Amino acid sequence: MAEADCCCTGKTKKRTEQELKSLKNRLNRIEGQIRGIKGMLEKDAYCPDILIQVSAVHAALNAFNKELLASHIRSCVATDIRAGKDETIEELVCLMQKLMR
């Protein structure tokens, strides 16, 4: 992707329709899982059953993060590195440290 065609500007990013749809679908599923957990609480579900569902939400959020991070690296980070913007590397390192806490 040429720098002039880059979808990243400053602190925003123009996502493709396909990328936006995929990320929204993931978030919608996660939202449904959260509502399900709330329903389990209201129905006095067994604690281990709720914990398993919470673990599934955690895994779904991790999958969302992986997809978003991969897109960020392939687009914004790659474009900035090609343009000689080394500060993007430090930003990525800081981001990775925060994600791994």
pLDDT tens digits in sequence order for the chain, 101 residues long: 444 445 666 688 889 999 999 999 999 999 999 999 999 999 999 999 999 999 999 999 999 999 999 999 999 999 999 999 999 999 999 999 999 98
Q: Are 92 and 77 in contact (CB under 8 A)?
A: yes
Distance CA 58, CA 53 (A): 9
Tell me which DSSP letter residue 42 carries. Answer: H
Tell me which DSSP letter residue 7 carries. Answer: S
Distance CA 24, CA 68 (A): 11
CA distances from 57 to 20, 44, 60 (A): 20, 19, 5
Q: Could you give phi then psi for residue 26, rounded to 5 degrees?
A: -60, -45
